[in-house]
Every structure is written in C-alpha cells, then in structure tokens.
Structure 1
C-alpha cells in the first residue's frame, strides 16, 4: 500500500506511478530546492484508472546520460571508518536503483532528486582516464590503493557501453597503481584480463556485494544489479582467474535480510571468496523516507518491525552519522550481528589472509611523463600570449 499524501500536499496530488525495474517509488525535490515538485491530476483520471493495469502500462522510465565536465578524478577522504584515502567514481547516480543506497543524497547537490532521478539521470565522466593519467603523473602524487565502487557502482549497466571503468583500469595498470573494487555486477568479469594481470603484480582485489540470496527480494530492493547467483558466479570466475576476491554482506537490514548473513558467507566462500566484511543499513537524509516508502509498499507485513529494529541499533533514531557507529550500529542487536559475522568468518576460514596491495611498484610511464612536460610547456606559452 502506497502511503497517503502528506498533509501539506494539495487535494489533487497523485502518487508517482510504479515504474517497473526501478527501486525508488517517488521523485521528491532536492532538499536544496526552494520549491517542491508535486504530481497532480487534470481531473480525467479516476481512482481506479490512476494506477496502470498490466494491459495499460506506462512506457519504461528510461535512463538519460549527461556529460560530467569534472576537472579532477581522484576524490579524497579522511573518514576513519574506511580503509582508503582516495577513490574514483566514473559515474554520478547509479542505474542499479538499490533503494538503500547511501549515495542517493549526493544527487541533491546537482539539483536532482535522490529518488528516481538518482537511478535514471546518470552523469558520466568521459575524460576520466585522461584526468587520471595527469594526476598520477604529477610529481605531487604519492601512490596508494585507489578504491572504486565506494559511492556509486563502477560496473552499473551503462558501463557496458561506456567502458569508462575499463579505461581507468588500464591507466592504473600502466602506472602499477593498486586498485580495490566493490561491485554488485557480474560485468566486472568482463575485465578479468586486466584484473588478473594486475593481480599477478599484487595490484588488484575485488569484493562482490551480496545483500540477499532471495532473487525476489533482490529484484525489488536492487532491481538493476546482477541477480544474487550471478554475483556468486562472479566471485568464482575472479577466483579461478587468480584475482583475490571477497564478499560484502552489506547492508544487513534487521528483520529483512539479516537472517541470510551466514548463508551468503557460505555461498561466497564455496565460490572462492577469501575475505569478507559487513555493514548495517545506513539511512542518511532523504534515504529514510525513500526506504520507508519502499518497505511499506513491498513488505507491508513486516514494515513496522523492520523500522523498530533499525531504531534499536540506531539509538532510537533511523540513522546515526557518528564515526565508529554509522557502519555497525550499537546495542544488543548490532552486537549480535557482529558476533554472528565473526563466528561465521572463523568457521569458514575467511579473513585469514590480509592482502596488502603493493604500492612500491608504482612508476610513471615514459609517455605519460612526456605528455605532462608538454602540457606544462603549452600552459606557460598560453600565459605569455
């Protein structure tokens, strides 16, 4: 059952129609907008006909791509909750449409909605490889692991045609700069040729994020990510190719998918995963409303229980932003999840090996060094004109 209109909505406001293959159920305005977008009726629809039937479905809500003219490609962070200080996001927004995605609120900075806009209006960075080459070739650059997939997925469906992630991997390989990838998409196996070659030099590792093994839950909760069995297949393919691979059971949502934690870890370990991690659900900013709306629509029988359990691991709220607790939560339920994860990891022999990717192999290819010198010369000449 879709929630009723808020009290401040006009009487003729109508809900966003359900778009098959998309995660969010609404498309509220950005929190920075001074005006609110509200769908209304012209009076011709009736309550019975306002929701399309199977014989009268809306056309698919298609993805639109916009060029992102960013001038830098490496994003830096100082968060104590994550084990890296630099990352690359080839895309802004993510077609996977995971309803719980903590990156959704970033679309508000673009004047777009964290709802349907986030998964249908994708910004891509066509100059990513060129920008990365310049940043790695700079004398100021100090080599370390570059993380990919920490915000939006580098292997979301548009990557199949854009190939921006593949271009980035080629640059990192040329410079011998290590990379760590997290993805929900089997498409990562397309780049096994690059990743396996990098792995031989101890320069690459991949984590597959597996939230559930229930294909029906996955279809509604993360509609355009690879099906759960395909992600397990990707773990097997990467392991067979010699690429160090792990699994992220993330996010764990109390009362919804947390009972699957051990089964996910077992399936991943059987497929060849040697490392594992987990986080609990994070609901910052607009995600709280989007997730609750989705939950009441797709799992109405357990919505109140799930929300209650989330509050129990978040000090009575739906989210805590403090470092140290935002990833794992607190209280008895969070402690039990952590204990279960630890016991399963020990039983399955996961995390016995801690890969330390090699940063000492880093080198600037001669052609990149020459291009940097030429660029600086051209810049000086432009200043003299």
Structure 2
C-alpha cells in the first residue's frame, strides 16, 4: 500500500496534518486503500467537544515574561486553529495530536465557574488578578454555546475580583455589560490580539478567529464602554506579518487602545514541524526566508525557551522589531506597556454553600 497524500489545504483549519504527540505510546499511519483519488478534496474534519469536570481551575505561573501570576482556562484546545499557536503541544498531554486534534477535539470544563467560586472562598486564598486566555482563547467559537467565560466573569464580578482578558475574537463584545460594570471598579483590562490587517492571510493563519477589522472594531466597542483595552501585535512573524506593525498600532490607537504590546513567534516542541508544513502549504516561496529570520532571532534555532528572550528574541532583527514598536506607539500617542492598576483590595470572598441554605439572606 502506498502512503496517502496530505491534502493541499483544509478550508477553515490551520493545520492539514495530525502528527502524533510526543507522549503517545502508539503511532498510526494513514495509507491509501485505493478509494482516494488524486485531486479529490479532503473531507473537512468536524469539531467535537467533550464536556469534562475540572478538579482545579486556577493555574499558577512563575514566568517573569508575563505580567500575571495566575490564569483560568475554561477550554482545552482551540477552534481558532491558529497555525502558530504555542499552546498546540499541550494537547500531547491528552494523548492527542497538536495538529488537527488541537483545533477539532476540544474540551469544555463545564464546572469551571463552580470550582473557581470554591477556590476563591478558601481562607488561604490571596487575591491576585486572574488572566483569561493565557493558553487557549476564552472567546473561541464554542464559547457562544457554553458561555463558560461569561459564567467565570459573573463569579469575579460578584466578589470584586480583578482580571485581565486576552482574545482575538469579537465575541467579547457580548459581555460588555459585565466588563463595563467591572471596569468602573478597576477590575478588568482587556487585550485584543491583532496579527495582520490582511483578511486573506488571516483566514489562512487564524482560520476561525475574527477577521482583523472586526478585532479593531471590538477595541472600539470596548473603549467606548469605558473598558480599558490594549492591542497585542502578537505574534509578529518575520517576513510575513511584520509589515503590518505600524498600521496595527495606528488603527488600534485610533479605536481607543491605551497601549500596545507584542511578542515574536516561538515554536516549541511539535509546533516546529507544523509551522514548516503550514509555510510549505501556503507560502512555499517564502518558507526558507521566514525560517531563516526566525533562526536569526532565536540563536540559530526555531525556538528559544529561555526566560527573558523567548517572547521577544534577540539579535539585530529582534532589536529592529522592538524599535519599530516603540516608534509606532510614540507616533500613535499610546503607551508601550499597559498600566495594570487593578483593584485587589475590594475583593470579598464568596460565601460557602450551606446545607441549611441562606437563612438570613
């Protein structure tokens, strides 16, 4: 039997491959059984969601590269399907592929708000801003159905707990009512990630995320409601998306963004092979140049795991990107870093559930 060919492209998906995760004990290999015809389009893989009951919901972070100590992720896997997503390798812990599995086999922590409420009620809990969106996007398409992010926000709002949100989906506009009330008490700061301003490129790079212009509109809607919002030019991909740096900052600032941050693409573990395959699929003529500049920024490798350099890179190209961000922010009249003065002193722990109910409510 001959090996079956990979499809040229799967519409609406960031990956066309499903390589085995690094922890899998068994490996399967697709082969041509004679039914596949050359030129026949591949069947589009459907999204499946498994509901699970989380035992814990707050993840602690010790990285000096990110401005938060704790995060909440209501979903595992992300339907946005961003080809560059650094979270893809995390699906290997589920014995699933960081390729198509990551964007089609999703998990919803249906008790996320319940577990969060229990954690916040513990006498030992110390209030610190929680980040939503550190690993997978809290407003990915399945949030429209499950509403887990909104449930989490309702818990945080009820007990005056601060948070930050990172998303690339305009669905965040649905929760403006909650976010506006929280913003009035200095309890929230939103970050909208914009990678390019090219809809065609975005549809290949981030196939199920909101289009770039919708993300800019989301910034405008949030800021019009008095919700402090920043733009993240992230990740910057040399020789592919870096041409949009100044325009993104300018348009986001015009929409009301108060600051602009950025990261440079990083390719941990299995993501290296997936990214090379994506370039070969969509931009074969740029592949070697893009990889060459990434290696220049990452000390000769495709990834740099070291704290301090993994988010921004180092060397002449990395320095140039940093200077361009600084100049773009200065010209747009916005800050280079978000001023996260969120209120942690007004936190009121939620009341523990009582078997007798609220007798004196």
Normalised-by-shorter TM-score class: over 0.9
Q: Look up the SS of the partner of 1:122 in the other structure.
A: strand
Which structure 2 residues correspond to residues 234-313 of structure 1 after superposition, within 5 A?
A: 234-313=218-297
User: Which string of whole-angstrom CA distances, capped at 9 and with x for unpartnered residues, describes residues 112-167 of structure 1?
Assistant: 00000000000000001100100001101000100011110000000001000000
Tell me which of 172, 178, 185 is aligned to 1:201. 185
Q: 2:38 matched to 1:50?
A: yes
- Cα-Cα RMSD: 1.4
Q: 2:19 matched to 1:34?
A: no
Aligned 8 A contact 2:230 2:259 in 1? yes
Q: 2:3 matched to 1:13?
A: yes
Tell me which of 131, 137, 149 is aligned to 2:133. 149
- Between the aligned partners of 1:288 and 1:51, the Cα distance in structure 2 is 27
- Between the aligned partners of 1:330 and 1:132, the Cα distance in structure 2 is 38
Q: Name stretches of at least 5 consecutive residues in structure 1 with no aligned partner.
A: 1-10, 376-385
User: Residue in 2 aligned with 1:361?
Assistant: 346
Q: Name stretches of at least 5 consecutive residues in structure 2 with no aligned partner.
A: 357-361
Q: Look up the SS of the partner of 2:261 in the other structure.
A: strand
Question: Who wins on radius of gyration, i.e. which is larger?
Answer: 1
- Between the aligned partners of 1:190 and 1:293, the Cα distance in structure 2 is 36
Which structure 2 residues correspond to residues 82-231 of structure 1 after superposition, within 5 A?
A: 82-231=66-215
Aligned 8 A contact 2:78 2:102 in 1? yes
Post-superposition offset of 1:349: 1.7
- Between the aligned partners of 1:312 and 1:58, the Cα distance in structure 2 is 36
Aligned 8 A contact 1:315 1:330 in 2? yes
Aligned 8 A contact 2:237 2:264 in 1? yes
- Between the aligned partners of 2:29 and 2:230, the Cα distance in structure 1 is 43
Aligned 8 A contact 2:73 2:136 in 1? yes
User: Residue in 2 aligned with 1:80?
Assistant: 64
User: Residue in 2 aligned with 1:344?
Assistant: 328
Aligned 8 A contact 2:14 2:82 in 1? yes
User: Residue in 1 aligned with 2:44?
Assistant: 60
- Between the aligned partners of 1:292 and 1:68, the Cα distance in structure 2 is 33
User: Residue in 1 aligned with 2:312?
Assistant: 328
Question: What's the TM-score once normalised by structure 2's chain length?
Answer: 0.95
Post-superposition offset of 1:239: 0.4
User: Which string of whole-angstrom CA distances, capped at 9 and with x for unpartnered residues, describes residues 310-366 of structure 1?
Assistant: 00001111111010110000100001100111111122121277230110110124x
Q: Look up the SS of the partner of 2:254 in the other structure.
A: helix
Structure 1 segments of 4 or more deviating over 4 A?
none
Q: Look up the SS of the partner of 2:44 in the other structure.
A: coil
Post-superposition offset of 1:58: 4.4
- Between the aligned partners of 1:51 and 1:184, the Cα distance in structure 2 is 34
Aligned 8 A contact 2:54 2:115 in 1? no
Number of paired residues? 354
- Between the aligned partners of 2:5 and 2:48, the Cα distance in structure 1 is 22
